């Protein structure tokens, strides 16, 4: 048993390397096999953001950084292993000076407080990595919501053009009948045909744009870009805009990139602490030992101490102090940029909101009245092609503008939530 214990101890200290080869085609096959069950009644913005946070490949790779940081914390908290030193002397000596065996055991005592500083620095780095991951998650969620809103916008525009085409087909039919009855000219018929071709061309353009938007949304969701996605528009969220000071306070507490910079300052703080501890008067190792020669035993003890003659650590300390000041200045600079980001997002949201309210509150009733009037005129057979086509064009342009204003308002709202670090808070 006495002989097997050192062998077991040696085996326990050994690590086994396990290779993990992979092939690019295997990863491609894994991506192709990903299946996400999408809602049958359509995907809304909240559901899209939730799916993206789970399946986005970029986030999965970034989260490995947190796993690495966890292991670094464990590594920094571990003590340095002692060393067993063996020595043989007088290997070629004669019988008068026999071989001697020396055994030594070296310990490497840590400076008091050094282990705490190393663990604290690694912990701050782990928190910084976690904040960086949260910041990227917030940006992916915002990008997904904007992509969803863009796809919903193109869906709405397609419906508007399709509805306009149905109304225009009735106009074309009426113009043909009037031309046959010699109540209209070929010019009127040509104008009607040209407008129909414009609508058909716009339908083709919007269909292609929607397909691209859905493919981009699918990529953000982490699923096959060719996956058919049905979009369900989200309900408009109208709320009073808080003051700039309130938004800045929210960002101070909610922005993950600011949290990451705060943790970076703590990393620099602990690095400065370690720079001070690196040159204290403390042994670098302690070595008890034993020696046997010609049957006689002897003991020994030694220690290594640093003599701070050429390097007292002042230069290293000055470097770390500068880095600590740099971390504070970096946080201040980022905070300044965040304030501008909030201000610009607020301006865009107010501007988009004003235009949307004008389109819905003032133009909305007039547009509905004009649409009903156009339908009534077409049904009555009183077809002045030039005037009706002009009105149709103006009505369709106004409806498209309203849809654009709705999208711009939603995008500005998402950007403001991202700027204040509130993208994951309930609406």
| pLDDT tens-digit readout, 134-183 | 999 999 999 999 999 999 999 999 999 999 898 888 888 888 887 787 77
144 in the same domain as 290: no
Six token digits for residue 285: 């190792």
Where is 86: in which H helix or E strand? strand 83-89
**β-pair partners for 84:** 105
How far, in Å, CA of 45 to CA of 36, rounded?
16
**Higher pLDDT pick, 303 / 131:** 131
Phi and psi of 288, rounded to 5°? -80, 150
266 in the same domain as 411: yes
**Predicted local confidence at residue 49, as pLDDT:** 93
pLDDT of residue 210 exceeding 50, the answer is yes
**Predicted local confidence at residue 97, as pLDDT:** 62
How far, in Å, CA of 356 to CA of 368, rounded?
16
Is residue 192 very low, low, confident or very high in pLDDT (cuts 50, 70, 90)? confident
290 in the same domain as 172: no
The reply to whether 94 falls in a domain is: yes
- Mean pLDDT of the region 64-75: 90
What three-state secondary structure class fits 306?
A: coil
**Higher pLDDT pick, 208 / 226:** 208
pLDDT of residue 127 exceeding 90, the answer is yes
Sheet holding 100-106: strands in order across? 83-89, 100-106, 283-293, 296-305
**Higher pLDDT pick, 114 / 414:** 414
pLDDT of residue 296 exceeding 50, the answer is yes
The reply to whether 132 falls in a domain is: yes
pLDDT of residue 342 exceeding 90, the answer is yes
**Predicted local confidence at residue 363, as pLDDT:** 82
**Predicted local confidence at residue 334, as pLDDT:** 96
Domain count, the chain: 2
**Residue 392 and residue 195 in contact, taking contact as beta carbons nearer than 8 Å:** yes
| pTM, two decimal places | 0.84
288 in the same domain as 247: no
What three-state secondary structure class fits 44?
A: coil
Is residue 364 very low, low, confident or very high in pLDDT (cuts 50, 70, 90)? confident
Look at residues 292, 312, 332 and tell me which one is the last residue of a structural domain: 312
- Mean pLDDT of the region 338-351: 95
What three-state secondary structure class fits 284?
A: strand
**Predicted local confidence at residue 8, as pLDDT:** 52
Look at residues 312, 327, 360 and tell me which one is the last residue of a structural domain: 312
**Predicted local confidence at residue 1, as pLDDT:** 47
pLDDT of residue 349 exceeding 90, the answer is yes
Smallest CA-to-CA distance from 52 within 145, 124, 133 is with 145
The reply to whether 46 falls in a domain is: yes
The reply to whether 138 falls in a domain is: yes
Six token digits for residue 68: 């690495």
The reply to whether 96 falls in a domain is: yes
Smallest CA-to-CA distance from 339 within 416, 260, 262, 424 is with 416
Look at residues 262, 291, 312 and tell me which one is the last residue of a structural domain: 312
396 in the same domain as 364: yes
Highest mean pLDDT among 5-19, 76-90, 93-107, 153-167: 153-167
The reply to whether 400 falls in a domain is: yes
54 in the same domain as 184: yes
How far, in Å, CA of 382 to CA of 390, rounded?
15
152 in the same domain as 287: no
DSSP letter, residue 295: T
pLDDT digits (tens, 9 = 90+) for 379-414: 777 667 778 888 888 888 898 999 999 999 999 999
- Mean pLDDT of the region 305-329: 87
**Residue 147 and residue 216 in contact, taking contact as beta carbons nearer than 8 Å:** yes
- Mean pLDDT of the region 75-94: 77
What three-state secondary structure class fits 80?
A: coil
**Residue 313 and residue 275 in contact, taking contact as beta carbons nearer than 8 Å:** yes
303 in the same domain as 225: no
pLDDT digits (tens, 9 = 90+) for 304-316: 887 777 777 788 8
Q: pLDDT averaged over the chain?
A: 86
Is residue 57 very low, low, confident or very high in pLDDT (cuts 50, 70, 90)? confident
Tokens 């909305």 belong to residue: 364
Q: How many CA atoms lie within 13 A of 399 on its CB side?
A: 20
Smallest CA-to-CA distance from 127 within 223, 270, 290 is with 270
**Predicted local confidence at residue 370, as pLDDT:** 81
Smallest CA-to-CA distance from 412 within 351, 326, 321, 336 is with 351
The reply to whether 243 falls in a domain is: yes
DSSP code per residue over 109-157: PPPTTHHHHHHHHHHHHHHHHHHHHHHHHHHHHHHHHHHHHHHHHHHHH
pLDDT of residue 369 exceeding 90, the answer is no
The reply to whether 228 falls in a domain is: yes
**Predicted local confidence at residue 129, as pLDDT:** 94
247 in the same domain as 173: yes
149 in the same domain as 246: yes
- Mean pLDDT of the region 347-357: 92
**Predicted local confidence at residue 173, as pLDDT:** 83
pLDDT of residue 78 exceeding 90, the answer is no
- Tell me the CATH number at 44: 1.20.1600.10
- Mean pLDDT of the region 264-273: 94
**Domain containing residue 353:** 40-78+111-278+317-419
210 in the same domain as 93: no
225 in the same domain as 116: yes
pLDDT of residue 238 exceeding 80, the answer is no
**Higher pLDDT pick, 383 / 270:** 270
How far, in Å, CA of 326 to CA of 257, rounded?
16
Q: How many CA atoms lie within 13 A of 14 on its CB side?
A: 8
> Strands 100-106, 296-305: parallel, antiparallel or unpaired by DSSP?
unpaired
**Vertex 172, ends 166 and 175: CA angle to 5°?**
145
pLDDT of residue 12 exceeding 70, the answer is no
């Amino acid at each position: 048993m006495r002989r097997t214990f050192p062998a077991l101890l040696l085996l326990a200290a050994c690590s086994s390397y396990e290779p993990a080869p992979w092939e690019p085609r295997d990863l491609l096959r894994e991506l192709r096999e990903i299946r996400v069950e999408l809602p049958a009644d359509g995907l809304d913005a909240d559901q899209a953001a939730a799916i993206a946070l789970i399946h986005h490949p970029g986030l999965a790779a970034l989260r490995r950084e947190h796993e690495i940081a966890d292991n670094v914390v464990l590594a920094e908290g571990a003590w340095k292993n002692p060393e067993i030193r063996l020595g043989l002397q007088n290997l070629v000596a004669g019988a008068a000076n026999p071989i001697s065996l020396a055994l030594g055991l070296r310990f490497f005592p840590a400076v008091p407080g050094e282990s705490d500083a190393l663990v604290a620095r690694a912990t701050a780095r782990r928190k910084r990595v976690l904040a960086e991951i949260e910041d990227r998650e917030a940006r992916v969620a915002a990008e997904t919501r904007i992509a969803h809103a863009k796809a919903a916008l193109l869906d709405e525009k397609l419906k508007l053009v399709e509805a306009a085409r149905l109304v225009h087909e009735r106009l074309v039919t009426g113009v043909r009948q009037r031309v046959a009855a010699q109540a209209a000219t070929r010019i009127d018929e040509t104008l009607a045909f040209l407008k129909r071709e414009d609508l058909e061309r716009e339908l083709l353009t919007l269909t292609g744009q929607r397909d691209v938007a859905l493919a981009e949304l699918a990529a953000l969701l982490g699923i096959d870009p060719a996956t058919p996605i049905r979009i369900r528009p989200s309900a408009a969220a109208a709320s009073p805009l808080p003051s700039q000071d309130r938004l800045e306070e929210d960002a101070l507490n909610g922005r993950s990139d600011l949290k990451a910079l705060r943790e970076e300052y703590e990393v620099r703080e602990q690095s400065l602490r370690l720079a001070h501890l690196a040159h204290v008067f403390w042994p670098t190792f302690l070595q008890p030992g034993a020696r046997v020669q010609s049957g006689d035993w002897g003991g020994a003890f030694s220690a290594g101490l640093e003599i701070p003659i050429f390097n007292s650590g002042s230069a290293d300390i000055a470097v770390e102090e500068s880095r600590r000041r740099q971390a504070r200045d970096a946080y201040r600079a980022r905070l300044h940029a965040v304030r501008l980001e909030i201000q610009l997002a607020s301006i865009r949201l107010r501007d988009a909101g004003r235009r949307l309210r004008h389109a819905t509150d003032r133009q909305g009733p007039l547009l509905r009245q004009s649409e009903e009037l156009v339908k009534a005129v077409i049904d009555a057979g009183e077809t002045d092609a030039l005037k009706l086509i002009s009105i149709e064009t103006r009505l369709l342009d106004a409806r498209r503008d309203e849809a654009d204003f709705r999208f711009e308002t939603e995008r500005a709202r998402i950007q403001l939530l991202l700027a204040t670090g509130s993208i994951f808070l309930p609406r």
